[in-house]
Structure 1
Amino acid sequence: MILFVFLAIGVVAYLWWKRTHTTLTRDCRWRQDKPAGDWHCVACGARTVPPEGQSPRNCLRSARAG
């Protein structure tokens, strides 16, 4: 019984971690423009400026430019 509880907690923890660290960015390919300091997606054309020292993690297809 105790093993089942630990297994269930482990599965829930893994699923929570996977949910918080992966988003719908499978189709997005982010590239950083060094002079401008912003990021752009070569797949959909979205542009963003994430917090300092981080790269974009979310798909921004609905917010794409032009």
Structure 2
Amino acid sequence: MPILVPLLLLAVLAALWWQRRGSTLTRDCRWRLDRAAGAEVWRCAVCGAVTEGARSPRHCLRERG
């Protein structure tokens, strides 16, 4: 029984970390592949940020100002 408590705590912490990995503070960004601009150009439909890469970004790239 005493070994079960640390294992349960570790499992909860691992689940929280795994859930946090996929989320950011910029949930409003919606990345779309802009094929008209190039093969690997991503444009945010909400803030208008543009970037290049094989995958959509996980963070907001808009310029603060």
Q: TM-score, normalised by structure 1?
A: 0.75
Query: Which residue number corresponds to residue 43 of structure 2?
Result: 40
- Which stretches of structure 1, 4 residues or more, deviate above 3 A after TM superposition? none
**Residue-pair matches, total:** 61
Q: For 1:1-66, what aligned pairs fall within 5 Å after superposition?
A: 1-35=2-36, 36=38, 37-50=40-53, 52=54, 54-62=55-63
TM superposition shift of 1:25: 3.2
Partners of 1:61 and 1:34 lie apart in 2 by 20
Computing the radius of gyration over CA atoms, which structure comes out larger, 1 or 2?
2
Which has the larger helix fraction?
1
Structure 2 unaligned regions, length at least 5: none
Percentage identity across paired residues of the two chains: 51
C-alpha RMSD over aligned residues: 1.7
Structure 1 unaligned regions, length at least 5: none
